[in-house]
């Protein structure tokens, strides 16, 4: 166990180094990197992904996955736009958008827990379903005449700082999630479930209910990300944030969370969020298009699992050799 | 293990035999059910719009399904081993673009080099997936989610260094004819898809490696105990899926004639929908090529029906999603029901 925590610490140390190195490279490559405005651009660009990564961390630690988050984001954005366009007050539109996320997460959760279906398949299905519904709701239209109060929330910074308002939401949520994951009973239960579902059940954890809560949480947060995304681009379109699930999963796995559950920390995920943000920002400053950036993100996703795998294998080989040497000395 | 282990073993084996029989039964029930669903759709839509029932329209449906079916056959091989390949859309897009570009640059070339180029590229991308999953021990969902975006990124890099779009007028008609010509009176696309489905279906059913593929998917531990090299089989399944995607890409370029770097985006959802609707168990170990092809045909028929009934195409993606969820829910219920039926039958005996 001690060995395991030391491994985790080194992973997070590695992430800190990676973050520093990529920032230094960014500063060398582009004179614009170290400016206040760029810090704003860098953070506000990643905030939807960052916010959705928080519940995703909990879900993956509990041994499940939610691939439908980007589609929930798109659907809630479209619902928000439609309700506003039909003349409803903004608070109502936002409320209903969040409710849509709750219902979507509830559907995922019920299918996974009540019918014991694999979350991977369920959420691939709802990935298509929710995105499809977004198209059904708005077709190829877009809503963009949002009130300035709403778009200001998306564009402007907290007075006196270079931090976007969404950044404040992220900070608050991160604190809440960190407390829940690392200092609460529910957090310990998540690790237990991720390590062994059966053992968790036998020790009196209501596995189904915990997972249902996680999926609902993920849905609501994805809808919140949808509201932020809509405000930031001042546009509700059915194809908003297509493919963001890749970035969210990448961030979580790069943060050192084990894809099979049971291991990981929020600190690692937060570090990974900023690494990805810097990476995207630097590539953007170098005029590399978003489609080609996805090559880098995709590779990073694979490497974030492949790297530790290979490291572990090498460790095993070294340990075996030491064992063999030690034994031959004894003989 | 203690000395009692040899006493436990036979019972366990019997349990697993029951499991295998159960899975076989489920897939048979599923294929029959799928046929009934298909007939049902045809009947309902046929009453609403008689032109749906014309032979010409059926050929149209099969034409639109052919490429999807070829990719679904490859996906089935992967899913049978308890894995999934999410990168198929990107591989098809990549090979379609490269093949079309090849014919644009070398219009005098024979068909064969272009076809081989597309297939070889697909194979290489599939091999890469296989290496990452089998030997890098990266879960296939993560690995192929990564390559879905990585391969698509490569298409964009390739396109930004060559041409943004290949048009129908840029490529020789002999290439386009690949999709329109007829073999033995059957449109070539349908013919090729049918031949591939029959060959792979026969291989799965009758060959040793085919049976081993099922074994690896239904019980990996038991499979490794009897000496099956699971990692090589999984590797081969990914390679074969890549190869079939490559061929599908070649045909995609010929059928749609105009291709850009975004072509075949999102195809993976249709393919997984076809495979899952076709009764291939996403946990591996059960399912047939016939089922997967039937699944593709059901989806193609639905798409065609939407067209004919003048329902917005925007519904299509939602229907695919609902079909995936409906199919896995149905599978769960059928499995439970059959399990209960088998158990009660055993009690009586």
Gap between the Cα atoms of A242 and A228, Å rounded: 15
B21 located within any domain: no
Out of B141, B148, B325, name the one closest to residue A126 (CB).
B325
Q: Is the pLDDT of residue B6 over 80?
A: no
Q: pLDDT value at position A248?
A: 95
Chain A hits for B156, Cβ within 8 Å: 289, 291-292, 295
pLDDT at A9: 57
- Tell me the percentage of chain A whose pLDDT exceeds 90: 53
- Residue B186 covered by a domain: yes
Cβ–Cβ of B142/A132 closer than 8 Å?
no
- The answer to whether residue B112 scores a pLDDT higher than 80 is yes
Return the residue in B325, B329, B330 with the most chain A beta carbons within 10 A, the one to mutate for interface testing: B325
| pLDDT of the residue at A288 | 84
Q: Which residue has the higher pLDDT, B345 or B142?
A: B142
Question: pLDDT (tens digit, 9 = 90+) per residue, A84-97?
Answer: 999 999 999 999 99
Q: Which two tokens mark A106?
A: 């509830």
Whether the predicted pLDDT of A29 surpasses 90: no
In the stretch 154-183 of chain A, residues with CB closer than 8 A to chain B read none
Q: Is the pLDDT reported for residue B11 higher than 80?
A: no
Nearest to A148 by CA among A95, A86, A84: A84
* H-state helical runs in chain A: 2-29, 36-61, 69-85, 90-113, 119-138, 148-155, 165-183, 185-195, 197-202, 207-233, 244-254, 266-285, 290-330
SS3 A222: helix
Q: Which of B271, B321, B337 to mutate to test the interface with A (most CBs of A within 10 A)?
A: B321
Domain that holds residue B153: 28-43+51-348
**Structural domain count, chain B:** 1
Tell me the average pLDDT of chain A. Answer: 89
Q: Does any domain span residue B239?
A: yes
Q: Are B85 and B140 in contact (CB under 8 A)?
A: yes
The two tokens of residue A158 are 């907290």
CATH of the domain at B177: 1.10.3470
pLDDT (0 to 100) of residue B12: 43
Domain annotation covers residue B205: yes
Q: Cβ of A295 under 8 Å from any chain B Cβ?
A: yes
Residue B187, SS3 per DSSP:
strand
Question: Angle at Cα B267 formed by Cα B287 and Cα B155, nearest 5°?
Answer: 130
pLDDT of residue B282 exceeding 90, the answer is: no
List the one residue out of A307, A303, A279 whose CA is nearest residue A293.
A279
Q: Which pLDDT band holds residue A102 (cuts at 50, 70, 90)?
A: very high
Give a yes or no: residue B15 inside a domain.
no
The partner residue sitting opposite A302, judged by closest CB among B132, B156, B272, is B132
Residues of chain B neighbouring A243 (CB-CB closer than 8 A): 149
pLDDT of A27 above 80: yes
- pLDDT tens readout for residues A194-231: 998 888 888 888 999 999 999 999 999 999 999 999 99
Q: Tell me how crowded residue A301 is: count the other CB atoms within 10 A of its CB.
A: 27
Answer yes or no: are the C-beta atoms of B70 and B192 closer than 8 Å. Answer: yes
Domain assignment present for B230: yes
Instruction: Work out the average pLDDT over A10-30.
Output: 88
A11-15, A253-257, B24-28 — which one is most confidently predicted on average? A253-257
Mean per-residue pLDDT, A171-187: 94
Can you give the residue range of the structural domain that contains A7?
Answer: 2-330
pLDDT of res. A330: 65
B7 falls within a domain: no
pLDDT tens, position by position, B162-209: 887 888 888 888 888 888 888 887 888 999 999 999 999 999 988 888
Q: What is the mean pLDDT of residues A276-293?
A: 86
* Domains of chain A: total: 1
The proportion of chain B whose per-residue pLDDT surpasses 70, expressed as a percent, equals 91
Cα dihedral A75, B41, B185, B252, rounded to 10, equals: 10
CB contact under 8 A, A132 and B318: yes
Q: What is the CATH number of the domain that holds A21?
A: 1.10.3470
Tell me the pTM.
Answer: 0.86
């Amino acid at each position: 166990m001690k060995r395991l925590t030391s491994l985790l610490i080194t992973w997070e140390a590695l992430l800190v180094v990676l973050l520093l190195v990529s920032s230094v490279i960014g500063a060398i490559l582009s004179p614009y990197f170290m400016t206040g405005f760029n810090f704003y651009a860098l953070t506000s660009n990643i905030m939807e992904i960052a916010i959705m990564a928080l519940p995703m961390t909990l879900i993956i630690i509990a041994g499940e996955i939610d691939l439908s988050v980007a589609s929930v984001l798109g659907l809630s954005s479209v619902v928000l736009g439609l309700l506003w366009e039909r003349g409803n007050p903004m608070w109502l539109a936002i409320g209903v958008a969040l409710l849509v996320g709750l219902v979507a997460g509830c559907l995922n959760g019920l299918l996974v827990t009540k019918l014991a279906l694999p979350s991977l398949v369920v959420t691939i299905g709802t990935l298509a379903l929710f995105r499809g519904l977004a198209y059904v709701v708005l077709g190829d239209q877009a809503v963009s005449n949002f009130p300035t109060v709403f778009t200001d929330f998306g564009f402007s910074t907290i007075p006196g700082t270079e931090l976007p308002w969404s950044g404040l939401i992220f900070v608050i949520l991160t604190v809440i999630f960190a407390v829940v994951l690392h200092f609460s009973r529910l957090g310990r239960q998540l690790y237990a479930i991720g390590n062994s579902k059966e053992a968790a059940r036998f020790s009196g954890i209501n596995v189904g209910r915990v997972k249902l809560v996680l999926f609902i949480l993920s849905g609501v947060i994805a809808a919140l990300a949808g509201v932020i995304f809509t405000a930031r681009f001042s546009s509700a379109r059915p194809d908003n944030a297509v493919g963001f699930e890749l970035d969210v999963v990448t961030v979580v796995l790069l943060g050192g969370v084990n894809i099979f559950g049971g291991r990981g920390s929020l600190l690692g995920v937060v570090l990974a969020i900023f690494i990805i943000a810097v990476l995207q920002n630097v590539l953007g400053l170098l005029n590399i298009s978003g489609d080609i950036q996805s090559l880098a993100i995709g590779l990073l996703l694979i490497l974030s699992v492949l790297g530790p795998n290979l490291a572990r294998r090498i460790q095993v080989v070294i340990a075996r050799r030491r064992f063999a040497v030690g034994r031959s000395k004894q003989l | 293990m203690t000395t009692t282990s040899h006493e436990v073993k036979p019972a366990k084996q019997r349990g697993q035999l029951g499991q295998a029989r159960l899975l076989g039964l489920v897939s048979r029930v599923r294929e029959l059910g799928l046929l009934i669903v298909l007939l049902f759709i045809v009947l309902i839509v046929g009453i609403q719009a008689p032109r749906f029932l014309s032979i010409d329209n059926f050929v149209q449906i099969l034409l639109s399904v052919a490429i999807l079916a070829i990719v679904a056959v490859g996906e089935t091989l992967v899913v049978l081993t308890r894995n999934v390949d999410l990168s198929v859309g990107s591989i098809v897009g990549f090979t379609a673009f490269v093949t079309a570009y090849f014919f644009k640059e070398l219009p005098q070339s024979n068909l064969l080099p272009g076809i081989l180029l597309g297939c070889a590229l697909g194979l290489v991308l599939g091999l890469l997936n296989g290496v990452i999953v089998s030997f890098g021990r990266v879960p296939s969902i993560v690995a192929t989610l990564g390559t879905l975006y990585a391969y698509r990124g490569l298409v964009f890099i390739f396109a930004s260094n060559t041409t943004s779009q290949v048009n129908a007028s840029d490529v020789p008609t002999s290439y386009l004819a690949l999709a329109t010509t007829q073999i033995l009176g059957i449109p070539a696309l349908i013919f090729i898809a049918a031949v591939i489905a029959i060959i792979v279906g026969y291989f799965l059913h009758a060959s040793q490696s085919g049976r081993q593929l099922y074994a690896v998917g239904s019980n990996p531990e038991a499979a490794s105990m009897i000496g099956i090299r699971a990692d090589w089989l999984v590797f081969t399944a990914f390679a074969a899926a890549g190869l079939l995607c490559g061929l599908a890409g070649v045909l995609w370029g010929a059928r749609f004639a105009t291709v850009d770097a975004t072509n075949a985006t999102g195809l993976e959802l249709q393919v997984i929908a076809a495979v899952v609707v076709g009764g291939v168990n996403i946990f591996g170990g059960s399912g047939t090529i016939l089922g997967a092809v039937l699944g593709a045909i059901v989806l193609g028929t639905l798409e065609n029906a939407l067209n004919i009934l003048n329902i917005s195409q925007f519904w299509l993606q939602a229907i695919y999603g609902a079909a995936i969820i409906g199919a896995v829910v149905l599978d769960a219920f059928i499995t439970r029901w059959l399990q209960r039926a088998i158990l009660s039958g055993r009690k009586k005996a």
